[in-house]
A and B are shown apart, each in its own frame.
Chain A
């Protein structure tokens, strides 16, 4: 994803950001892992791959950050950003029977990843080459 991002992870910053939004921890503690959110994600309905489930994305990004406070590695963030940037389009259509706002969790995980230099590079194609600008400046 981000070859040019810094490899230094500011764990204190991550911890501070995790504390900033109280509701994220409560959402994670309430999630009953029922799997009903799968059918509301159109990416899941298309690919039928559990990695596209909204709760899978939230648990494996924000949940992992909560679990591994101060021990986050760059590789973990890369995997996470692959999950939350590559497998989510932020359409906010996730439906949770318990009423958890899943998209806000994914969005917050994206924000945290972005502060650590793990983000989607829209100027690099999947082969790692720099894309040419569509409009010449």
Chain B
């Protein structure tokens, strides 16, 4: 069961990468800004970032228009990535099966991260319900995906504190976690891959670097 979901997850990631490559082509002409064309090295990238961040370039992005929501979104995404990796219980299971473990947070830290994540998710839900612009484009699918994203954290929290029947909750936790992993490859959670590929790799007004590919 776990393996099926992991295979679907990895296959989904590969599928997303394939999709992005299939809709983009390698840029034919060199970049107009020549010094940005050679930005493969880290030093160049840092120099470029310094230049970008210090100027008014960020004004049009969400950091300029809605800084609070940008911060909220950043915290949400950091929590969703790091929390599952460094939970003590996950690492113990990993060690029991493969004799291998990652650094794990203390249980209090994990609890705090989970609560921060869930409050971010709740704020996102409030934003989706009450802000007119977001409500105009949301469908039932968006609420469902937010639920799928938050459910592993809710059930994990409940399971750790043993608030309900532990066995039932942990099975629901596992199922929701697997569902989320599967959803990454197939639904709009695919922005996990899409974001990095497009913003870093495609030359456009808002890409972080010069970019080496463009839309086909």
Contacts and interface: CB of A to CB of B under 8 A. Distances in A.
Interface of A: 22-23, 26, 29-36, 38-40, 44, 50-51, 53, 55-56, 59, 93, 95-101, 104
A53 B137 contact: yes
Given A40-B60, A56-B137, A99-B207, A29 B202 contact: no
Interface of B: 19-20, 22-23, 60-62, 65-66, 69, 73, 127-128, 131-139, 142, 187-188, 190-191, 194-195, 198-199, 202, 204-207, 215-216
Contacts of A50: 132-133, 135-137
Contact of A33 (B23, B142, B198): B142
Given A98-B191, A99-B199, A23 B215 contact: yes
A95 B61 CA distance: 7
B216 A23 contact: yes
A58 B62 CA distance: 20
A34 B194 CA distance: 15
B136 A53 contact: yes
B188 A31 contact: yes
A98 B189 CA distance: 11
Contacts of B139: 33
Nearest to A36: B62
Nearest to A96: B206
A99 B187 CA distance: 17
Contacts of B19: 26
Given A33-B134, A36-B66, A50-B133, A98 B216 contact: no
Nearest to A57: B137
Given A26-B23, A30-B194, A97 B62 contact: yes
A94 to B, nearest CB: 10
A99 B190 contact: no
Given A29-B190, A99-B207, A39 B134 contact: no
8 pairs of A and B residues whose beta carbons are closest in the complex: A99-B198, A50-B136, A35-B134, A23-B23, A39-B65, A38-B133, A35-B133, A33-B137
A99 B23 CA distance: 13
Nearest to B197: A99
Contacts of A38: 133
A93 B50 CA distance: 24
A64 B65 CA distance: 29
Contacts of A104: 215
A36 B65 contact: yes
Nearest to A51: B136
A98 B215 contact: no
Contacts of B66: 36, 39
